[in-house]
């Protein structure tokens, strides 16, 4: 496997609802990057975090102007890739679909079910085909790092849950009660609107990805709890924001030291099907950042 440049690679962080900055990012530069897929959600903040150069991006924009379907996922991840990011921690608000996952708990899921239908989720097409392996969509090494730094600092009464299935829905409306009960019947643990799309694109971009999912509510299935609302989510996100920043800062320190190798870092090696000389020039220019180490 090709693990080039890990010693100098960067850490990426996506901040979700209520998480629009990292306070302890040092020597920050603000970058605007135009990509073949348009502009990113906002300016990228590049600085040093616990010994590793880190790129932060507010997924919905720092003023939360993009719905989950409108987030320019391809632009965001292409920009991260262009800056040398090899690992991404994605902080996100989720609803709980299980009794044991309480509001203010943290979850590190290991699987997805996708229910989105209105967003591009591949860099390929337009004359080139690639089929990446996505059986295990989250990087196990990043998951273990987050687990290691999170367990000792979880507040009393809150828990970290490792494993579980993230149901990714289209949004922006929350689930109907029937949908919520259906997702529970599938064995899903949490529900959100963004991470599956990011995970697929990160795999194509050969970036290791992990979700730090912050439980804010019980969706609408739980008869003993009020139905999910924006007010409830923001209230609980604000409570979790400082903890999430502590987790990411501690994880950055370990990632800086270990520079973990991931299977994601060579995901395109056997995935590209179309011969390079058959790919249209316009398409080749768009994907060159991703494929150049295989097509030289």
CATH number where 78 lies: 3.40.50.1580
Domain annotation covers residue 103: yes
State what percent of residues in the chain have pLDDT above 90.
81
Count the helix, strand and coil residues of the chain and give each as a percent rounded to the nearest 5. 30, 25, 45
Please calculate the CA angle 288-294-295 and round it to the nearest 5 degrees. Answer: 60
Residue with tokens 């196990």: 140
Half-sphere exposure at residue 274, Cβ-oriented, CA atoms within 13 angstroms: 16
CA distance 17 to 237: 8
Which residues form the catalytic set?
217, 219
Question: What is the chain's Cα-based Rg?
Answer: 18
Domain annotation covers residue 42: yes
Residue 226 has pLDDT above 80, yes or no: no
- Which residues share a beta bridge with 114? 168
Asked whether 255 and 208 are in contact (CB, 8 A), the reply is no
User: Which pTM value belongs to this model?
Assistant: 0.94
Residue 221 has pLDDT above 90, yes or no: no
State what percent of residues in the chain have pLDDT above 70.
94
Residue 112 has pLDDT above 80, yes or no: yes
Task: Please give the structure tokens belonging to residue 36.
Answer: 């073949």
Domain annotation covers residue 2: no
Provide the domain limits for residue 233.
Answer: 8-291
Domain annotation covers residue 40: yes
Asked whether 203 and 195 are in contact (CB, 8 A), the reply is no
Domain annotation covers residue 1: no
Residue 3 has pLDDT above 50, yes or no: no
285 in the Ramachandran plot: left (φ > 0), alpha (ψ -120 to 50) or beta?
A: alpha
Mean pLDDT of the chain: 92
Burial 31-44 (b: 16+ CB within 10 A, else e): eeeebebeebbbbb
Domain annotation covers residue 164: yes
CA distance 254 to 247: 11
Parallel, antiparallel or unpaired: strands 106-108 and 34-35: unpaired
pLDDT (0 to 100) of residue 240: 80
Structurally, the chain folds into a number of domains equal to 1
Report in angstroms the alpha-carbon separations of 294 from 24, 43, 269. Answer: 37, 30, 7
Residue 81 has pLDDT above 70, yes or no: yes
Domain annotation covers residue 296: no
């Amino acid at each position: 496997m090709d693990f080039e440049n890990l010693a100098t690679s960067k850490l990426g962080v996506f901040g979700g609802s209520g998480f629009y900055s990292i306070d302890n990012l040092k020597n920050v530069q603000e970058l605007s990057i135009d990509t073949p897929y348009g502009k990113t959600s906002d300016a990228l903040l590049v600085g040093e975090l616990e010994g590793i150069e880190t790129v932060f991006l507010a997924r919905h924009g720092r003023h939360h102007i993009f719905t989950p379907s409108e987030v320019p996922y391809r632009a965001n991840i292409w920009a991260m890739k262009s800056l040398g990011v090899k690992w991404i921690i994605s902080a996100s608000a989720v609803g709980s679909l299980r009794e044991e996952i309480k509001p203010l708990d943290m979850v590190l899921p290991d699987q997805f079910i996708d229910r989105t239908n209105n967003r591009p989720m591949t860099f390929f097409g337009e004359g080139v085909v690639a089929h990446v392996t996505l059986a295990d969509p989250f990087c196990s090494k990043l998951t273990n790092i987050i687990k290691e730094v999170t367990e000792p600092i979880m507040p009393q009464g809150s828990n970290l849950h490792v494993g579980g299935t993230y149901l990714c829905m289209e949004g922006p409306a929350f689930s109907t009660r029937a949908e919520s009960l259906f997702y529970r019947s599938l064995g899903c643990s949490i529900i959100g609107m963004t991470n599956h799309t990011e995970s697929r694109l990160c795999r194509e971009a050969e970036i290791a990805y992990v979700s730090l999912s912050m439980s804010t509510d019980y969706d609408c299935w739980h008869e003993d709890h009020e139905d999910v609302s924006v007010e409830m989510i923001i209230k609980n996100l604000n409570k979790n924001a400082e903890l999430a920043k502590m987790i990411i800062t501690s994880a950055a320190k370990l990632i800086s030291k270990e520079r973990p190798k991931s299977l994601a870092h060579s995901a395109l090696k056997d995935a590209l099907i179309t011969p390079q000389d058959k790919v249209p020039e316009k398409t080749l220019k768009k994907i060159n950042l991703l494929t150049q180490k295989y097509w030289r």
